[in-house]
Amino acid sequence: MVERSDEYIAGRLIERSRLLIALSDEIPIETKLETQPLLKQLEQALAVPVEEQDAARIRGTYAALYDELADFADIEALLSALKNFVHCL
């Protein structure tokens, strides 16, 4: 079994969240349009080395995403899993 870094797993969870949001019939178009840029912002904020990450920005972006998507169980599960791999959440 290949060991994966937290950064790799967080990136994959963001990627899967983006795909699930895009394909979901349950999520309103407006919510999709609002959350896709937030996922991109979170991805970019996490792409820098841990010691250079803006923890407040990451927490704020994550909180906004969670608030918008918590009512959708599949996405909420991915976001909850993401929280376990992001050090500043």
The pLDDT value recorded for residue 32 is 95
Residue 25 lies in a domain: yes
Residue 21 lies in a domain: yes
Domain count for the chain, please give it.
1
Residue 40 lies in a domain: yes
Residue 27 lies in a domain: yes
Residue 51 lies in a domain: yes
Per residue in 30-50, pLDDT tens?
A: 999 999 999 999 999 999 888
The pLDDT value recorded for residue 6 is 85
Contacts for 22-28: CB closer than 8 Å, 24+ residues apart: 24/72, 24/74, 24/75, 26/72, 27/69, 27/72, 27/75
Residue 89 lies in a domain: no
Residue range(s) defining the domain that contains residue 51: 6-83
| Percent above pLDDT 90 for the chain | 79
**Is pLDDT of 25 > 80?**
yes
- Find the mean pLDDT for residues 60-65: 95
Predicted TM-score (pTM) of this structure: 0.88
Residue 1 lies in a domain: no
Q: Residue 19's Cα: distance from chain center in Å? A: 11
The pLDDT value recorded for residue 7 is 87
Residue 88 lies in a domain: no
